[in-house]
C-alpha cells in the first residue's frame, strides 16, 4: 500500500515537475539576459494553452484521436501552443519592455509594466474566450500504460516525460552549442562587450523571449491536456515555476529543470503531510526559505554560463 502511494505520488510529482521546469526555463532565460523577472510569463503559458485548445478543436474536433493521429495530436498541440507562446513573448518584449530598456528605466518600472501586461492579457483572454474552464481532456490521455508496484502510470505522464525531455535537451544543446546560443550567453555575461563584438542585443533579447515563450506555451498545452484551460490558469503554475527557477539557481538552465523536478516531487509528497487546501503554501514556503537562506539556489546563479 505504502509502495503504491509512493510511486503514484512520485510519477505525479515528476509530471508536474517537468511542467514547472518548462515554465521556469522562460523565467531563467529572461532573467539571464535582462536581470528581470518576466511577470507576464504566466500569461504566455495561458496563451499557449488556449492556442492549442482552439487549434485542436478546429483540426481534430471532439473525436478521440487514435493510432498515429494521437501522436500528431500531441505534436500539433505542442507546436501550436509553443508558437503562439513565442509570438506573444516576442510582442510582449517589444511593447512592454523595449521602450523601458531604451530609456534605461529602473527595475521597478519593468515590474509594474510586466504586471500590467499580465493583467491585460489574462483578462483579455477571459473576455474573448469566456471565463469557464474549457476541458481538452481526451480519454486516451488517462489510459494506464503500465504500473509500477501497482501504481498506474497514465498516458498523460508518458507524453509529458517524452515531450519535456526532448524539448529541454534540444534547448540545452541549442544554447550550449549553436551560434544563437552563444549570442544569448554573451549578452547574459556582459551585454555591452557583446554589443561591441557585433552581437545584436535587441535581436538576442527577442530570441531569448521567443525560446522561453515557446517552452512556456508548450507547457501550457501539456498542462491543459490534463486539467483543461481557463483564463486564470497561469497564475499558480507560474509562481511555482518561478520558485523552481530560484530553487535551481536563477539564470541557470539546468538548474531550472532540477528545481522544477524537485519542487514537483516535494509538492506531490507533501500531500501526505499537508491538508490538500494548503498545497500551494508548500511551494511558496520553499520559495521564501530558498530566497532567505540560499538565494543563489542549488546549482548557483550562473548567468552567462547557461549550461
> Residues in the site for other proteins, rule: CB under 8 A?
34-37, 39, 54, 95-96, 99-101, 103-113, 115-121, 123-124, 126-132, 134, 191-192, 235, 239, 242, 246, 275, 277-278, 280-281, 284, 287-288, 291-292, 295
Nearer to other proteins, 14 or 297 (CB): 297
In the complex, minimum distance from the CB of residue 7 to other proteins, in angstroms, rounded to a whole number: 29
Is the Cβ of residue 70 or residue 123 nearer to other proteins in the bound state? Answer: 123
Q: How far is the CB of 247 from other proteins (least distance, A)?
A: 13
Q: Please say which residue, 168 or 207, places its beta carbon nearer to other proteins.
A: 207
Residue among 150 and 295 whose Cβ is closer to other proteins: 295
Q: Are 17 and 241 in contact (CB under 8 A)?
A: no
Radius of gyration (C-alpha) of the chain in whole angstroms: 19
Nearest approach, Cβ of residue 127 and other proteins (Å) = 5
Which C-beta is closer to other proteins: that of 70 or that of 91? 91
Nearest approach in angstroms of CB 136 to other proteins is 11
Look at the alpha carbons of 230, 234, 236, 241 in this order and tell me if their dihedral is positive or negative.
positive
Task: Please state the closest distance from residue 77 (CB atom) to other proteins, in A.
Answer: 16
SS (H, E, C) the chain: CHHHHHHHHHHHHHHHHHHHHHHHHHHHHHHHHHCCCCCCHHHHHHHHHHHHHHHHHHHCCCCCCCCHHHHHHHHHHHHHHHHHHHHHHHHHHHHHHHHHHHCCCCHHHHHHHHHHHHHHHHHHHHHHHCCCCECCCCHHHHCEEEEECCEEEEHHHHHHHHHHHHHHHHHHHHHHHCHHHHHHHHHHHCHHHHHHCCCCHHHHHHHHHHHHHHHHHHHHHHHHHHHCECCCCCHHHHHHHHHHHHHHCCCCHHHHHHHHHHHHHHHHHHHHCCCHHHHHHHHHHHHHHHHHHCCCCCCCCCCCCCC
Q: Which is nearer to other proteins, 153 or 256 (CB)?
A: 256
Q: How far is the CB of 46 from other proteins (least distance, A)?
A: 13
Between 174 and 274, whose beta carbon lies closer to other proteins? Answer: 274
Work out how close the CB of 197 gets to other proteins at its nearest, in angstroms, rounded to a whole number: 16
Amino acid at each position: 500500500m505504502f509502495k503504491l502511494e509512493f510511486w503514484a505520488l512520485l510519477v505525479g510529482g515528476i509530471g508536474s515537475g517537468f511542467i514547472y521546469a518548462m515554465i521556469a526555463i522562460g523565467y531563467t532565460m529572461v532573467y539571464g539576459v535582462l536581470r528581470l523577472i518576466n511577470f507576464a510569463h504566466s500569461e504566455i503559458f495561458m496563451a499557449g494553452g488556449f492556442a492549442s485548445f482552439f487549434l485542436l478543436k478546429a483540426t481534430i474536433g471532439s473525436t478521440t484521436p487514435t493510432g498515429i493521429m494521437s501522436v500528431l495530436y500531441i505534436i500539433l498541440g505542442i507546436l501550436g501552443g509553443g508558437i503562439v507562446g513565442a509570438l506573444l513573448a516576442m510582442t510582449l518584449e517589444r511593447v512592454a519592455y523595449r521602450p523601458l530598456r531604451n530609456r534605461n528605466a529602473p527595475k521597478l518600472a519593468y515590474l509594474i509594466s510586466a504586471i500590467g501586461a499580465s493583467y491585460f492579457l489574462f483578462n483579455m483572454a477571459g473576455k474573448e474566450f469566456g471565463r469557464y474552464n474549457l476541458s481538452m481532456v481526451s480519454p486516451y490521455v488517462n489510459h494506464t500504460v503500465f504500473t509500477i508496484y501497482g501504481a498506474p502510470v497514465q498516458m498523460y505522464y508518458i507524453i509529458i516525460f517524452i515531450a519535456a525531455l526532448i524539448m529541454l535537451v534540444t534547448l540545452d544543446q541549442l544554447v550550449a552549442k549553436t551560434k544563437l546560443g552563444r549570442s544569448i550567453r554573451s549578452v547574459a555575461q556582459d551585454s555591452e562587450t557583446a554589443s561591441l563584438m557585433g552581437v545584436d542585443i535587441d535581436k538576442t533579447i527577442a530570441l531569448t523571449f521567443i525560446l522561453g515563450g515557446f517552452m512556456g506555451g508548450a507547457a501550457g498545452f501539456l498542462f491543459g491536456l490534463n486539467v483543461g484551460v481557463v483564463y486564470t490558469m497561469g497564475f499558480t503554475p507560474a509562481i511555482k515555476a518561478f520558485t523552481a527557477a530560484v530553487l535551481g539557481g536563477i539564470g541557470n538552465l539546468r538548474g531550472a529543470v532540477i528545481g522544477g523536478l524537485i519542487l514537483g516531487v516535494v509538492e506531490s509528497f507533501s500531500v501526505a503531510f499537508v491538508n490538500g487546501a494548503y498545497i500551494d503554501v508548500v511551494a511558496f514556503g520553499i520559495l521564501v526559505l530558498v530566497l532567505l537562506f540560499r538565494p543563489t539556489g542549488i546549482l548557483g546563479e550562473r548567468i552567462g554560463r547557461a549550461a
